[in-house]
Amino acid sequence: MRKIIGVFAAPEAVHWVGDGFPVRTLFSHHRHEAQVSPFLLLDYAEPEYFAPSDVRRGVGPHPHRGFETVTIVYEGEVAHRDSTGAGGLIGPGDVQWMTAGAGVLHEEYHSDAFTQRGGRLEVAQLWVNLPAGVKMTAPHYQPLRAADIPRVELRNGAGVAYVIAGELQGAKGPARTSTPMNVWDVRIKEGGTSAFSLPEGHNLVVVALDGPVVVDGQAHVRAGETIIFEREGGDVIFSAQADAKLLLLSGEPIDEPVVQEGSFVMNSQAEIQQAISDYRAGRFGAMP
């Protein structure tokens, strides 16, 4: 079995993204460096009830360059649009995969319908790095609908997995990625046990959004904790002590410098300064 490097507790502090998304950053490149490459961070907005309102909540136009955002909606509904003219609504089970590339402005709000009726919102946003050769690609957007994301029944009736990217048991996820990776939304029933085989040489990060679970028969992991594994060593096994929801992330590491300032992720400080200059000069386009 693949050895565990560590189990990392979630920070207690919640920070707000705009006025619509109270999140905790469950892991980040800043904290874990190359152990989580090609992933940069995961922000998780735990289930939160929002009362009906006539005023939409969310985060207004802001820039990105050099990476991708992957927004997974578990409950509620989010409206998105960006400076390429793309946008739409994402609801339960939908995923928004946005490649910022050379630069984009975008905004994310609770949808008008969700704002007016109120309800519970639960969202995770993963940041994925891009290798140097494609950091300046044209920005684009992949809307991944729940109906298009393969549902894989885990062996022995242990639960299900939704394959957003990569491949599991022959089912291929719809996301197009710049480097090899797997992004799986895994649900294991209370009392269920499931083993997963991941490519040797991939970094492997698993986030327990709901739990607890026992990993490889030894590590007890609670909701909100992140498990980071070694790159080699075979299968990983999860046993759910209660209904569990895991985000399983594996990827080929990008062996390049990572320089981040706010929502710009490049390979050098000079490139960061160029990004800031381009943004201020209006070269990221304008919102429709």
Would you call 286 exposed, middle or buried from its count of C-beta atoms within 10 A (0-12, 13-18, 19+)?
exposed
Over the chain, what is the mean pLDDT?
A: 96
Please report the pLDDT score of residue 11 as a whole number: 86
d(CA 56, CA 89): 14
Residues 202-214 pLDDT 10s: 999 999 999 899 9
Q: Taking a C-beta distance cutoff of 8 angstroms, is the pair 240, 192 a contact?
A: yes
Residue 262: CB atoms within 10 A of its CB come to 11
Q: Taking a C-beta distance cutoff of 8 angstroms, is the pair 158, 187 a contact?
A: no
Residues 92-114 pLDDT 10s: 999 999 999 999 999 999 999 99
Question: Which phi and psi (to 5°) does residue 237 adopt?
Answer: -125, 130
Question: Tokens representing 194?
Answer: 């499931």
Please report, as a single letter, which amino acid is at residue 168.
L
d(CA 71, CA 123): 7
d(CA 70, CA 85): 18
Please report the pLDDT score of residue 211 as a whole number: 87
When comparing pLDDT for 185 and 11, which is higher?
185
d(CA 92, CA 146): 7
Residues 125-184 pLDDT 10s: 999 999 999 999 999 999 999 999 999 999 999 999 999 999 999 999 999 999 999 999
The gap between the terminal CA atoms of the chain, to the nearest Å, is: 51
Please report the pLDDT score of residue 10 as a whole number: 85
Q: Taking a C-beta distance cutoff of 8 angstroms, is the pair 247, 21 a contact?
A: no
d(CA 178, CA 200): 19
> Per-residue confidence at 255, pLDDT binned at 50, 70, 90?
very high
Show Cβ contacts of residue 262 under 8 Å, excluding neighbours closer than 6 positions: none
